[in-house]
């Protein structure tokens, strides 16, 4: 069964702090995606990780992929309130289907 | 910047009725997808479509569901006889090539009463 597990599912952090969201997946896929979703909104693509060891950074967010461990991480540096949202990782499997994790609801408090 | 559009933004229907959800993918994209998200839950894959045929479908996508690309721009999802459990946000997505990213539309909230 395809399974993508994120942890934590809920994360409340203070502005200025660092934290990491973990995404474990079950297949040997080497393609992993991170999306952001604001309440009632659509999914915004953040990162596309296409190979083992891939690391991408955009502003305060950095994503990495370890295909051997079947693990991707999303690291938040010096969090700000604007980063409050739900973050999903998704694994691409056969036929380009995306299998999503349950999402991590991030709240950044002043 | 090109974007995926979806209509309507909200559809309310009675159980047993047919609904058609419409999507206009980004114009040069070749791969099209439907996903759904039940309130408060994760996003679930329904179907992918390429070269005018279904390339993959999930176990959710049963005989009640169908997809069509009736012309060069629209991509539709039809639910033949809606059930209460079909209430969800339905997202259309498109992609230019594999394994490039999928761009999601704003979604259609379907409420079945």
Does B10 have pLDDT greater than 80? yes
Q: How many CB pairs under 8 A join A and B?
A: 58
pLDDT tier at A43 (50, 70, 90 boundaries)? very high
Q: What is the average per-residue pLDDT within B17-26? A: 97
Contact of B84 with B72, CB cutoff 8 Å: no
Query: Which among A93, A95, A99 is the top mutation candidate for probing chain B, defined by the most B β-carbons within 10 Å of its own β-carbon?
Result: A95
Quickly tell me which residue has 């980004």 as its tokens. Answer: B26
> In A, what residues contact B, Cβ < 8 A?
31, 33, 35, 41-45, 48, 50, 88, 90, 92, 94-103
pLDDT class of A95 with cuts at 50, 70, 90: low
pLDDT at position B20 over 90: yes
Report whether pLDDT(B99) > 70: no
Confidence of residue B26 (pLDDT cuts 50, 70, 90): very high
The predicted model gives A49-56 an average pLDDT of 88
Classify residue A59 as exposed, middle or buried by CB count within 10 Å of its CB (0-12, 13-18, 19+).
exposed
pLDDT digits (tens, 9 = 90+) for B56-83: 999 999 999 999 998 878 999 999 999 9
Residue B63, by phi and psi: left (phi above 0), alpha (psi -120 to 50) or beta?
alpha
Interchain contact, B105 vs A42, CB within 8 Å: yes
Residue A30 has pLDDT above 80, yes or no: no
CB contact under 8 A, A95 and B58: no
Q: How far apart are CA B9 and CA A87, in angstroms?
A: 23
* Contact residues, chain A, for B35 at CB < 8 Å: 98
CA distance B45 to chain A (A): 7
Is the pLDDT at B22 greater than 70, yes or no? Answer: yes
- Look at residue B98 in the predicted model and tell me its pLDDT: 62
Contacts of B44 in chain A (CB under 8 A): 100
Mean pLDDT for A69-91 is 95
């Amino acid at each position: 069964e395809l399974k993508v597990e994120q942890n934590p599912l809920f994360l409340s952090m203070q502005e200025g702090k660092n934290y990491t969201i973990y995404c474990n997946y079950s297949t040997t896929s080497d393609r992993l995606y991170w999306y952001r979703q604001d309440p009632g909104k659509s999914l915004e693509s953040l990162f596309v990780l296409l190979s083992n060891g891939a690391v991408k950074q955009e502003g305060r967010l950095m994503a990495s992929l370890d295909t051997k461990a079947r693990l991707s991480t999303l690291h938040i540096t010096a969090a700000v309130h604007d980063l409050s949202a739900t973050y999903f990782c998704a694994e691409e499997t056969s036929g380009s289907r995306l299998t999503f994790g349950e999402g991590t609801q991030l709240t950044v408090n002043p | 910047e090109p974007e995926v559009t979806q209509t309507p933004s909200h559809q309310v229907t009675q159980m047993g009725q047919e609904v058609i959800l419409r999507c206009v993918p980004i114009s040069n994209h070749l791969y099209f997808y439907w996903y759904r998200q039940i309130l408060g839950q994760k996003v679930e894959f329904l179907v992918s479509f390429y070269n005018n045929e279904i390339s993959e479908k999930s176990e959710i996508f049963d005989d009640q569901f169908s997809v069509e690309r009736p012309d060069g721009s629209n991509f539709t999802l039809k639910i033949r006889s809606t059930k209460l459990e079909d209430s969800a946000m339905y997202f259309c997505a498109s992609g230019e090539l594999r394994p490039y990213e999928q761009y999601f539309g704003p979604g259609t909230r379907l409420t079945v009463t």
